[in-house]
Structure 1
Amino acid sequence: MGDEHGRRHNVLMVSDFFYPNFGGVESHIYSLSQCLLQRGHKVVVATHCYGKRSGVRYLTGGLKIYYIPWLPFLMQNTLPTFFLTLPVLRSIIVREAITIVHGHQAFSTLCHEAILHARTMGLEVVFTDHSLYGFADLGSIHMNKALQFSLADVRHAICVSHTSKENTVLRSGIAPEKVFVIPNAVDTAMFQPRPRAGSIKRIVVVVVSRLVYRKGADLLVEVIPEVCKLFPNVDFIIGGDGPKRVRLEEMREKHSLQERVEMLGSVPHAMVSSVLVRGHIFLNSSLTEAFCIAILEAASCGLLTVSTRVGGVLPPDMIVLATPVPGEMVKAIGQAIELLPRIDPQEMHNRMTRMYSWMDVAKRTEVVYNHAAATPRSNLRDRLARYFSCGPWAGKLFCLVVILDYIVLLFLEWCQPREEMDTVPSLSVL
C-alpha cells in the first residue's frame, strides 16, 4: 500500500473550506483525498462545523471528517483562536497517528493555526495556496503578513499554477525552490457534453460561481447588459448565491432582462453538469482565482471559456482571456461567439480527459509528501531563527507566539500524556 516506493502517509487535511460548503477548494480537498485513499494512504479532514453538522462524519471511501465545533464568523472562516485550537488538533493528530499535516488556502484561519501547531509538535507540513491576492489593499496586507508567518517555518508548499507560485513567493517570501506546482484536475466522467444538432440559434453563456466580490460578481453587473445590447441572440444562465446576488437581480430588473438572464440560485455540485450542458460559453469573472476548477468542468462539458487572466488554465484554442475590465470582457465574449462554430464539444471533452486527472495530482502530491517525510526535523532554535528573520518587529512577535505555543504544548503533554491517549484503528482492522 502507498506509493511506488512503499511509503504510506497518514495525512490530515485542514481548511475552513470543505463540504457541505461548495467551491473549488472544497472539491480539490475531497477529490485529492479520495485518490490518496485509493493509493493506500490514510487521510483525515479537519474543518469547522457547518450548522448542525458537528463531530465526526464519514464520506465516500471511508474519508473521515472532523467537524470541529468552531462557528464561522466571516466568509466561512473561523475566528482566530491561536492556542485554543491546539488541544483539539493535538488530540486528532495523536489519535489518528498523523505524520503529515496538509493545510489548504491562505484565507483559512484554521489552516494557519494547524500549520503552527503541527510544526510545534514536530510534524512536517505541506501548504497549498489556491488563490491570488494583491499587495496594496488592507485585506491583502493583512493576509500576506499572516502567510509570511505561516510559511516562515514551512519547507514544502504547493501552488496550483505557475502564476500562483510567483504570487505566493512574492507575498510570503518563501524560497521558490520550496514551492511545487501541481495543477487542479476534473473528473471528466461526471461532466459529459450534450450532442449538438444543427446551427446554434441562441447562444447561452453560463456562469456558475459564488456571487461575491472576489469572484467578480460586480464585474458581471457591468458586462451582462452590454453583451445583451450588442448581441440580441445571447442569453445568460447564472448559478450560484451570495451577497452580490441582489445586485445582479437589480441589474436584470433595471435593463428588463428577465427573459434573457436566468438566475438559478445555489446549485449543488451534483447538478452543475446539468447546468453547464445547457450553455455554449462559460464565463469566469474571478478576480483572485489561481486555477479555477469550474473552468475545467465547463471545458469537459464542451463549453468554450471566457475568463479573466487570473483564471486561464486551458490551451489557447479552448479559452479567451481578458483583463478584468468590463470593456475587455465584453470584447472577449464577442471573440468567443465568433469561435463557437469551430468548437467540437466531444473533442474538447476527450482532450480534457487526457490532460487532467485527479489520480495524477495525487501521485505528484505523494512526491511532495515523500520530500517532507525525508526532511530532517527542526529544533526550536532553528524555528525561532526562521521566524526572527521575518522583520524587526514582526520577527520578534512571531517568535513570542511560537514560544507560547510550545509552552502550551508542554502543558498539554503533562496534563494528558500521549501514551495515555487511545489511537484510532484503521478501517482494515475493523
Structure 2
Amino acid sequence: MSGPMHRILMVSDFFYPNFGGENHIYYLSQCLLKLGHRVVVLTHAYGNRRGVRYMASGLKVYYIPWRPFLMQNTLPTFYGMLPILRTILIREKISLVHGHQAFSTLCHEALMHACTMGYKVVFTDHSLYGFSDVGSVHMNKVLQFTLADVNQAICVSHTSKENTVLRSGLPPQKVFVIPNAVDTAMFKPATCRLNYDKIIIVVVSRLVYRKGADLLVEVIPEVCRLCPNVHFIIGGEGPKRVRLEEMREKHSLQDRVEMLGAVPHAQVQSVLISGHIFLNSSLTEAFCIVILEAASCGLFTVSTRVGGVPEVLPDDMVVLAEPVPSSMVRAIKKAIHMLPNIDPQKMHLRMKELYSWHDVARRTEVVYDRALKCTDENLLERLSRFLTCGAWAGKLFCLVMIIYFLLWHLLKLWQPTEDIEEVPDIKHSSIKMKVCLGTPMKTNKLPSLE
C-alpha cells in the first residue's frame, strides 16, 4: 500500500441485489480491501435484506431500514438520516465518506451530513444529465448544493467530467477521471470459435428510453431485411419491452429475435459468448461497463456515438454510429464485414491490459490521499460558499446547513460520542470465509438502526 490506511464508507442507494453500474462500488471496495484499507458500504434495505451483512473478502454492508421510494431511491429526509449515519461513522471509525451516483438520495444526504461533522468526502458521478428539462434543472441545483462541500470528485470519463463541472460548478482541478473496469476473469470468450453462417447480435440493456430501446425497434427489422443470416438476442427488462415484442410480432421475427427478459449479472457472460457482435443503442451514456464486458468476451461492438462511449474502446474494436436508425444499420453492416478479422482471444487479452479494477483502486487511493490533505473549514467559510449557489437558492442552502449544524450539536449532547461503541478491527484475511457475491456470512440486527 502506497499511503496510510483509509477507513472508507461507500454510500449509494444502488447496491446488491440491485445490479448494473453499481458493480463499480463492489469491485472497487474489494480491491481497496486487498490494498489494506478498511471499507464499509451503506445502502438502504432491499426486501428482507436489512441490518448488517458480510460479503466476499469481509466487505461489510449496512442495509439501513429505509425503503425505496422511486426507482430504488429512498425518500429524501434531509435530517432523518443524521443519527444513523453518525452512529455508523463513529462505530466504524471512518475517516472518509465516498458517495456514488448523482441520482442517489442516500448519497446526497450522507455527503451533507459527513461534511457537517467534519469528515472528508469524495463523490463519484456515474451518469450524464442534461440542462434544459425540468428534472435535470432540479437535479443540477441539488448537485450544486451537495458538491459545494466535497473535497474531491471522480468521473468515469472526460465527457462525464465536463458534464459534472458544468452542472455543479466544481473547480475542474478538484475532479479526476478514473474509468470503470471489467473483471476479465469472469468475462472470458467462448472456448470454441463461432462460425459465421449465422451472425448473432447481442443486446444486454435496460429496456428504457435512455438506453435507446425505441431505436432498436426501428433498427432490428431493417437489419433482418438486409441480412438474412442475422439473429438477435435481447437480454433486459423495462417498460419498452412491450414495443420490442410488438415489433417482433408485426414483422414476424419470432424465430430471429429472442427476448430473454431480465438477465442476472452472473449469467451475462453466458449470454454474451453466444454472439458475434454486441449492440449498444444508448442515447446518453457516461461510460457503459457492459461494453467492456462484451469486449472482454471477444465480441465486436457497435455503439451509438454518445457521451463517454468513444473513450471506452480502441477504434479497431468498435464501430460508432450516430443515434439514428440509418447510421446504426450502416454500422452493423460494416461490423459484419469486419468479423472474420476479429480474434476473440486477442481482444480478451487486450482488455486485460487496458482495464483493471486494481488499477482503478490505486488511482482512487491517490484521490483519497488528496482529500485527506484538504484543510478543515469552519461553518462561516462553508456558508460563504453556499451563498454563491444562487440568489435565492444560496440563502436556502445556508439555512439548511445551519439547521444541520445545530441538530448535530444537539445530537452530540443527547448521545455523546463516548457512548457509541466502536467495532473491533478484524483481519478478515485470516478468516476462511466461504461466501460468494451477495451471500451473507452473518446477519446482525442493529438496535441503533431500528
TM-score interval, normalised by the smaller of the two chains: over 0.9
Shift of 1:222: 2.1
- 2:15 matched to 1:18? yes
Among all aligned residue pairs of Structure 1 and Structure 2, give the percentage whose two residues are the same amino acid: 70
Q: Residue deviations 1:379-398, cap 9 Å, x none?
A: 11111111111111111111
Shift of 1:326: 2.2
CA distance in 2, matches of 1:290, 1:136: 18
Shift of 1:213: 2.1
Q: Residue deviations 1:17-67, cap 9 Å, x none?
A: 11101101x100000000000111010111111111111111101101111
Shift of 1:337: 1.3
CA distance in 2, matches of 1:71, 1:221: 35
* Runs of 4+ off more than 6 Å: none
Question: How many residues align structurally?
Answer: 426
CA distance in 2, matches of 1:30, 1:197: 32
Shift of 1:359: 0.3
- 2:390 matched to 1:391? yes
CA distance in 2, matches of 1:231, 1:72: 44
Q: Which one of the candidate residues 297, 303, 308 is aligned to 2:293?
A: 297
* SS of aligned partner of 2:52: strand
CA distance in 1, matches of 2:323, 2:139: 22
Shift of 1:428: 2.4
- Structure 1 partner of 2:377: 378
- 2:77 matched to 1:81? yes
- 2:238 matched to 1:242? yes
Q: Which one of the candidate residues 23, 39, 45 is aligned to 1:27?
A: 23
C-alpha distance 62-198 of structure 1, shift in aligned 2 (>3 A) = closer
Q: How does 1:404-419 map onto structure 2 within 5 Å? A: 404-419=403-418
* SS of aligned partner of 2:298: coil
Give me the TM-score of the superposition, normalised by structure 1.
0.96
Q: Which one of the candidate residues 162, 187, 202 is aligned to 1:191?
A: 187
Q: How does 1:255-404 map onto structure 2 within 5 Å? A: 255-309=251-305, 310=307, 311-312=309-310, 313-404=312-403
Q: How does 1:216-231 map onto structure 2 within 5 Å? A: 216-231=212-227
5+ long unaligned stretches in structure 1: none
The one-letter code matched in structure 1 to 2:248 is R
Tell me, yes or no, if the aligned pair for 2:17 and 2:46 is still in contact at 8 Å: yes
- 2:42 matched to 1:46? yes
Q: Residue deviations 1:194-232, cap 9 Å, x none?
A: 145474011111111122222222222222222212221
C-alpha distance 220-107 of structure 1, shift in aligned 2 (>3 A) = same
Q: Residue deviations 1:74-114, cap 9 Å, x none?
A: 11111111111111111111111111100001111111111
- Structure 2 partner of 1:426: 425
Shift of 1:261: 0.9
Tell me, yes or no, if the aligned pair for 2:194 and 2:276 is still in contact at 8 Å: no
* SS of aligned partner of 2:259: strand
* SS of aligned partner of 2:426: coil
The one-letter code matched in structure 2 to 1:4 is S
The one-letter code matched in structure 1 to 2:181 is A
CA distance in 2, matches of 1:132, 1:199: 38
Tell me, yes or no, if the aligned pair for 2:207 and 2:237 is still in contact at 8 Å: yes
Greater mean alpha carbon deviation, residues 133-142 or residues 33-42: 133-142
Greater mean alpha carbon deviation, residues 178-187 or residues 402-411: 402-411
Shift of 1:266: 1.2
- 2:2 matched to 1:8? no
CA distance in 1, matches of 2:231, 2:262: 19
CA distance in 2, matches of 1:361, 1:198: 33
The one-letter code matched in structure 2 to 1:425 is P
- 2:64 matched to 1:68? yes
* SS of aligned partner of 2:103: coil
CA distance in 2, matches of 1:64, 1:210: 28
Q: Residue deviations 1:104-142, cap 9 Å, x none?
A: 011111111111001001011000001111111112112
Q: Residue deviations 1:257-309, cap 9 Å, x none?
A: 11111111111111111100001111112223211111101000000111122
Shift of 1:399: 0.8
Greater mean alpha carbon deviation, residues 363-372 or residues 305-314: 305-314
Greater mean alpha carbon deviation, residues 11-20 or residues 204-213: 204-213
- 2:122 matched to 1:126? yes
* SS of aligned partner of 2:185: helix
- Structure 2 partner of 1:36: 32
C-alpha distance 274-51 of structure 1, shift in aligned 2 (>3 A) = same
- Structure 2 partner of 1:168: 164
Q: Which one of the candidate residues 87, 90, 93 is aligned to 1:91?
A: 87
C-alpha distance 197-121 of structure 1, shift in aligned 2 (>3 A) = closer
Tell me, yes or no, if the aligned pair for 2:386 and 2:394 is still in contact at 8 Å: yes
- Structure 2 partner of 1:142: 138
The one-letter code matched in structure 1 to 2:18 is N
Greater mean alpha carbon deviation, residues 329-338 or residues 401-410: 329-338
Greater mean alpha carbon deviation, residues 383-392 or residues 333-342: 333-342
